[in-house]
Amino acid sequence: MFNGAILVGASERRGGDPFFAVHPASGGQGEVAFSNASPADVADACALAEAAFESFSALTPDARATFLETAAEQILAIGDLLIETAMTESGLPRPRLEGERGRTVGQLRLFASYVRQGDWLDATIDKALPERQPLPRSDLRRVNQALGPVAVFGASNFPLAFSTAGGDTASAFAAGCPVVVKGHPAHPGTGELVARAIQAAVKACGLHEGVFSYLPGSTHELGGALVSDPRIKAVGFTGSRGGGIALMQVAAKRAEPIPVYAEMSSINPVVLLPGALAARADALGAAFVGSLTMGSGQFCTNPGLVIALEGPDLDRFVAAAAQAMTASEPQVMLTPGIHEAYEKGVAALLSAEGVTTVARGAQAQGANRGQHALFTTDAERFRSNPALAHEVFGSSSILLSCRSIDEVLETIAGLEGQLTATLHMEESDSADAARLLPALSRKAGRILTNGWPTGVEVTYAMVHSGPFPATSDGRTSSVGTLAMERFLRPVCYQDVPDALLPPALQDANPWKLIRRVEGRLEAAAGQDRAL
Amino acid sequence: MFNGAILVGASERRGGDPFFAVHPASGGQGEVAFSNASPADVADACALAEAAFESFSALTPDARATFLETAAEQILAIGDLLIETAMTESGLPRPRLEGERGRTVGQLRLFASYVRQGDWLDATIDKALPERQPLPRSDLRRVNQALGPVAVFGASNFPLAFSTAGGDTASAFAAGCPVVVKGHPAHPGTGELVARAIQAAVKACGLHEGVFSYLPGSTHELGGALVSDPRIKAVGFTGSRGGGIALMQVAAKRAEPIPVYAEMSSINPVVLLPGALAARADALGAAFVGSLTMGSGQFCTNPGLVIALEGPDLDRFVAAAAQAMTASEPQVMLTPGIHEAYEKGVAALLSAEGVTTVARGAQAQGANRGQHALFTTDAERFRSNPALAHEVFGSSSILLSCRSIDEVLETIAGLEGQLTATLHMEESDSADAARLLPALSRKAGRILTNGWPTGVEVTYAMVHSGPFPATSDGRTSSVGTLAMERFLRPVCYQDVPDALLPPALQDANPWKLIRRVEGRLEAAAGQDRAL
């Protein structure tokens, strides 16, 4: 159960000035009074996190992996209460939330397996060259170490997979960093349930209580205090562009600036090449609207921009998309604030000069339902009005018709950074695709062909990031095993006695790691990991 | 030869408002009028760099490696003129500069070899799972790609190895990024000679001229304009804390913020443990002063802080250090500005409350000679006065005597981020060392035992970075192969047809890479790279 408490390490406490969960489907609110964590709570949580750092970051891979697996089990052990609470607080349907729970648990387990395997340590050894002239070379050994306590700001649109025990928390734990979560006020009961599961895992594994704290709150001050705390060494955030930039600025102004990994804003361009349109314009139109309206469009990778060459095949696509959209039912959005921002964004497009409405979804009945919207404008106007390229979070998209592939290229070159970019193509489009791919790869962290960007697999190869403003740091990923690297830094040991080295670097290679020795990857002696 | 030109791509041009090289040993100045690059030159260089990006970043590893090797050959081909020019402009002695040239060339060749080997691409493949339930999984493939054009600000203290063709330029080229160098005004002839060598290598390899430009200048405006240019996607800098922070702020305020890799400020603590002092206090004292005064202390890793337990062994160390320092001759510093800053820093310590002068070097004769200085204070005063922990660039160091290992730990915990931290120890000190190492590893990028931090090897395992303010980004390194990662970002390709994939990800593995497939490293078929 949940009671609205602040969880600082192993203990719980109450704060003043409570807030309440809003139930978006009904517009009503919950009965539990949730505490707003105060600056004193932030300081206590960060002090505990700092106290936990040395022991937690020094755990063996197996011990840390076991903790991640225990957290996964504890989350499953909450049972249906978690799904019901999340449904009530987010308005998302049961199958989606059950899937999201599976993803959350699977993510923790994937990190557990990757932590055990150990490649993330990047253990690297350059042996001493005592005979080298004119000077001998020292023994140099490098390994990745945890950065320090991490602050995590969960997302409203994935109350499980990108929130309290989501990708940021899982990857920070995997790297060996204690985590202080700023609980999202849009799903406070869900957040607390998951936080208590992590708290139970910390206890079950006999870890320092400071490994995890949970600070619910509905104020910007709370987030600012957390990012400003000198013990916090990195920040994970998924949310709005404004929110992400505000945290980046707080972090940059600290006496010790720290990295902020903010996933913020993307319109995920989809390019329809002529061969694809000729072959399947109708199917593409329907599938596009399916991707656009799924989950009320509340995905970071929602296709908010479609680019294609003008002509009858595009007209067919538009007709099919319009038909699908007209039939599409409005769905509950996550929060009144998100619904309001969506309506505002759509209203701005409705009144923007030179922007035409292609179709709207069925009219909304009931609270917080977003009526879907598809617009069109010409590519030149789009390029000259940056406001048209701003993300409207929800099921709103703009279609651009271009006169040539050159104009498509010019349009892509003018885009800001994106999470994804998609090409729909046939074999006959290969030459055009080959021209577009280098441009797209500069703009986005993930390039798809013949798919839709919604749906982000949690794997080794996944990249969920992109140049600003898609994220604050396009050199990494917030989904998949790569996400761990955000919370690691390399440390080199020079001539340090073997017994004092981190185990990953000791001669005996007790963790049986693949290590880079004199520049070549080598398996541990006796290990059957043939390359 | 050099003539003071601005090198934009393959062409050269003159600017107004010239500046002249200062010869620090004599205090005189050179005859060549060096152009100050203008904002228009910045814009032209950046436009060319952007135009060169697509072809340069798409080169095969072998082609890019050949370019790096050609640049090395062209630098050697300058001959003794390079050494003589650098001696005149920097005041550094011939053997040091010959060594530095070797290091510069060796660095380019190491990157060439690492580029060919290909592990830096981090090619990762998760194959499609068409039968997966409830939904099939797409084919996902990830590879590292170049970030974009890079701006490099060379260091004054390594006119070859950390300047025009230094570690930042070499690693950016290795990653596939065109480079625009802001030439350091302290060694303009040296910089131009090296720049022309790179320009010749670009031509010899048939590359786009925009791969490299060189903008000499003595103004802050030039640097600001370069970092502000929207085509620049990352910055490499080695220099002062103030300079680095200024560039970080410019980069953070851009419409698209970009990473700045600034290596700025470090006092490189050296801890002398009791066993080491008992065994060899005299030798340590002399060796410490050798490291401190080498090259007039103008190294980023100069030991500016010594921490030890009070007692007669420490007294012996102090006596030996004082004796060595008193006998030490002042050397020419790199620039009048650096000499002036050194004198100011020493003067502040001379007048600081509770700080005692242990010894000074021999008095300075001639221009720009820094008189070496060793101070002492108690650890409590040091902890309470942050000014005492600021770097004084040059041969100035502070010795702290502590009452206990606990006090040593407390002192370390209070330090800012460092490039290095050193322990001198004997076997009998192992327990103390084990207590200190975790604390030191949080503060520094490199931990040494029984050595001196000056001297940075260019290898696979080297880390030359550290938490702020040692660098702006402690998650990477500016020396060694790891430096390449600063200029790369991952891109994921989802269901992209094989022929359109980057070669590193194609099924046939044409570059014979080790790749991570389903989470396990695998050699290319037929490759003899057993793990």
Beta bridge partners of B153: B182, B237
Cα B335–Cα B188–Cα B108 angle in degrees, nearest 5: 105
Element (H, E) at A150: strand A150-153
Report the percentage of chain A scoring pLDDT > 90: 96
Interval A156-199: pLDDT, tens: 999 999 999 999 999 999 999 999 999 999 999 999 999 999 99
CATH number for the domain spanning B247: value is 3.40.605.10
Give the count of Cβ contacts less than 8 A between chain A and B: 231
| Cβ contact, residue pair B252, A248, below 8 Å | yes
Report the percentage of chain A scoring pLDDT > 70: 99
Do B297 and B403 sit in the same domain of this protein? yes
**Does any CB of chain B come closer than 8 Å to the CB of residue A441?**
yes
Do B207 and B284 sit in the same domain of this protein? no
Sequence-distant (6+) residues with CB within 8 A of B46 are: B149, B180, B226, B229, B231, B232
**What's the mean pLDDT when you consider all of chain A?**
96
Annotated catalytic residues of A are 263, 300
Active site residue B300: yes
Out of A142, A257, A531, closest to residue B468 by CB: A257
**Does any CB of chain B come closer than 8 Å to the CB of residue A54?**
yes
Residue B459's closest chain A neighbor by CA?
A: A126
Compute chain A's Rg from CA coordinates: 25
**Does any CB of chain B come closer than 8 Å to the CB of residue A489?**
yes
Sequence-distant (6+) residues with CB within 8 A of B431 are: none
Residue-level pLDDT at A474: 95
| Cβ contact, residue pair B460, A117, below 8 Å | no
Interface of B with A in 366-425 (CB under 8 A): 416-417
Interval A408-423: pLDDT, tens: 999 999 999 999 999 9
Read off the DSSP letter of residue B31: S
From chain A, the residues in CB contact with B492 under 8 A are: 445-447, 461-463
* Rounded Cα distance, B301 and B453, in Å: 6
Do B88 and B193 sit in the same domain of this protein? yes
Residue-level pLDDT at A529: 55
In a domain, residue A191? The reply is yes
CATH number for the domain spanning B360: value is 3.40.309.10
Element (H, E) at B396: strand B396-402
Nearest CA of chain A to the CA of B337: how many Å? 26
| Cβ contact, residue pair B248, A257, below 8 Å | yes
Residue A529's closest chain B neighbor by CA?
A: B531
Do B285 and B226 sit in the same domain of this protein? no
Sheet order of strands, A488-494 included: A520-522, A515-517, A124-126, A140-146, A488-494, B444-449, B418-424, B269-272, B305-309, B396-402, B373-378, B356-360
Residue-level pLDDT at A364: 82
Residue A135's closest chain B neighbor by CA?
A: B455
**Does any CB of chain B come closer than 8 Å to the CB of residue A428?**
no
Residues of chain B with pLDDT under 50: none
Do B38 and B75 sit in the same domain of this protein? yes
Out of A257, A449, A468, closest to residue B495 by CB: A449
In a domain, residue A470? The reply is no
Domain end (from A400, A432, A449): A449
Our count of domains for chain A comes to 2
**Does any CB of chain B come closer than 8 Å to the CB of residue A313?**
no
In a domain, residue A508? The reply is no
Position A531 pLDDT exceeds 70: no
Position A259 pLDDT exceeds 80: yes
* Rounded Cα distance, A353 and A371, in Å: 21
Determine how many CB atoms are found less than 10 A away from the CB of residue A522: 20
Residue B95's closest chain A neighbor by CA?
A: A134
| Cβ contact, residue pair A447, B493, below 8 Å | yes
B421 to each of A454, B217, B443, B470, how far by Cα in Å?
Answer: 47, 35, 8, 12
In a domain, residue B472? The reply is no
In a domain, residue B121? The reply is no
Out of B451, B475, B488, closest to residue A138 by CB: B451
Nearest CA of chain A to the CA of B491: how many Å? 5
From chain B, the residues in CB contact with A527 under 8 A are: 531
Interval A477-502: pLDDT, tens: 999 999 999 999 999 999 999 999 99
* Rounded Cα distance, A315 and A399, in Å: 11
Do B94 and B162 sit in the same domain of this protein? yes
Report whether A433 contacts A408 (CB < 8 A). Answer: no
Do B335 and B379 sit in the same domain of this protein? yes
Report whether B143 contacts B124 (CB < 8 A). Answer: yes
Do B402 and B419 sit in the same domain of this protein? yes
Report whether A148 contacts A53 (CB < 8 A). Answer: yes
Selected residue of A98, A429, A475 to mutate for chain B interface (largest B Cβ count, 10 A)? A475
B20 phi-psi bin (left φ>0, alpha ψ -120 to 50, beta other): beta
In a domain, residue A527? The reply is no
Question: In the numeric block, which tokens belong to residue B386?
Answer: 């942050």
Determine how many CB atoms are found less than 10 A away from the CB of residue A340: 12
In a domain, residue B198? The reply is yes
Which listed residue (B263, B343, B407, B416) is catalytic?
B263
Do A211 and A95 sit in the same domain of this protein? yes
In a domain, residue A457? The reply is no
| Cβ contact, residue pair B140, A461, below 8 Å | yes
Do B179 and B306 sit in the same domain of this protein? no
**Does any CB of chain A come closer than 8 Å to the CB of residue B85?**
no
| Cβ contact, residue pair A125, B461, below 8 Å | yes
Predicted complex ipTM: 0.97
Report whether A396 contacts A342 (CB < 8 A). Answer: yes
**Domain of residue B85, residue span:** 6-115+146-264+477-485
Residue-level pLDDT at B364: 82
**Does any CB of chain A come closer than 8 Å to the CB of residue B522?**
yes
Do B251 and B280 sit in the same domain of this protein? no
Out of A444, A488, A531, closest to residue B514 by CB: A531
Q: What's the CA dihedral at A298, A301, A306, A308 to 10 degrees? A: -160
| Cβ contact, residue pair A445, B492, below 8 Å | yes
Residues present in chain B in total: 531
For residue B237, which amino acid is it? F
Do B184 and B249 sit in the same domain of this protein? yes
